[in-house]
Structure formats: C-alpha cells, structure tokens
Amino acid sequence: MNAFSVADPTTSKSLDALDDWEVAVIDLFLNAANSFGLPKSYGQIYGLLFCRDQPLAMDEVMELLQISKGSASQGLRALRQLGAVSSVFAPGDRRERYMAESRLRKLVGGFLREQADPHLEKGTARLKQIESLVNNIEDVGARKRGARRHEILSGWHRQMSRLLPWVKMIVGKSDRLPQKSSD
C-alpha cells in the first residue's frame, strides 16, 4: 500500500498513504464512535488526526480517508464542538489545519458536556412535566402509583447528576503517558 511513496514536496497529491497501523487505529476509532452514538466518519477523522504528528487540512483528510467534502466538513465541525479536535493556522497557507486532542480528560469532559449534560437538563424538564401529569390524576391509588414512579425517576436523575463529576475526576487522574514534548 504505502511501499515507496517518497513524497514529491511540490505536489500535495502524494498523500494516499496510510500505514497499516494507522488503518487499524482509524478502524478502532470508527468502531468506538459507533459505540458512542457518533457517526463512523467522525471516528475515522478523529482516528486519522490522532495518528499524525502534523495537523492536516480538510482536503487532506478527504483524500486520505476517501470521504466527501460534506462529511469532512461536518465531521470536523462536530469534533471541534466536542473539543476532540482543534484547529491551527499554518502560516503561509490559507487552509485551516486540524489536530486531535489526545488528553482523555478533555475528550471525556467534552463528551459529557455536549451529550450528558443536555440530557440531564432535558430530564429535569421532563420530570416536572411528569410530576404535573401525575398530580392531575383523580383516582388516589393511581396517583400514588404515578407519584412513586416519579420519585424513582427523580432519584435516578439525582444519582446520574452526582456521577458525572466523579467520572471527570477519575478519568482526569493520570492522563496521557509521558511524551517527548510537553504541552
């Protein structure tokens, strides 16, 4: 696949070269993205950037992963939104370039912030709605049953709210392994 592509420095066209291990890592993230409820292209993009030391431009991502402009654009946007990817400027190049965030704490934090927190908020609203519906029940027995369910759900909600900070703590403990350069 990547046998002897010696990179003509004048053309930026000689990038169709993913190492085998890179393919494996990209595939790992593809599957991981799926499990987290994200589109697989997001996983691929993140995986590619994760493998690279140098930030990549969008068209390089498209080329290397063989995905469309739309996917690349949307994927990079979502990943930035999640804090999983950050953009940098290479001087003398108008294109924006992207690199992966590799600190687990940040990744988890962003995911929780963008996914879990909104759900918890929506949960609060829904619990209120359920509570009011329950309070409108005429029959006493039925109302009691509803009230009990509302209590259980409220308890769950509370527990989940408590859990998230702990997750951030625990994951934040020892983060990335030592590397040659610090940040």
Partner DNA sequence: CAGTTTGTTCAAAAAAACTTGAACACAGGG
Partner DNA sequence: CCCTGTGTTCAAGTTTTTTTGAACAAACTG
Q: 12: Cβ–Cβ under 8 A, 6 or more apart, which residues? A: 60
Here the tokens at position 133 are 């519906």
Query: Which string of x and - marks every residue 56-75 that binds a copy of itself (by CB under 8 A)?
Result: --------------------
Residue with smaller CB distance to a copy of itself, 75 or 146 = 146
Classify residue 38 as left (phi > 0), alpha (psi -120 to 50) or beta.
beta
**Of residues 8-67, which lie at the interface with a copy of itself (CB under 8 A)?**
19-22, 24-25, 28, 31, 35, 37, 50-51, 53
Residues that bind DNA (CB under 7 A): 34, 37-42, 57-59, 66-71, 73-77, 93-96
Mapped onto helix, strand or coil, the DSSP state of residue 57 is strand
Length of the chain: 183
Q: 82 and 110 in contact (C-beta within 8 Å)? A: yes
Instruction: List 98's β-bridge partners, or say none.
Output: 56, 87
Instruction: Provide the binding-site residues for a copy of itself, judged by CB under 8 A.
Output: 19-22, 24-25, 28, 31, 35, 37, 50-51, 53, 102, 104, 115, 119, 122-123, 126, 129-130, 133-134, 136-137, 142, 145-146, 148-156, 159, 162-163, 166-167, 170-171, 173-177, 179-180
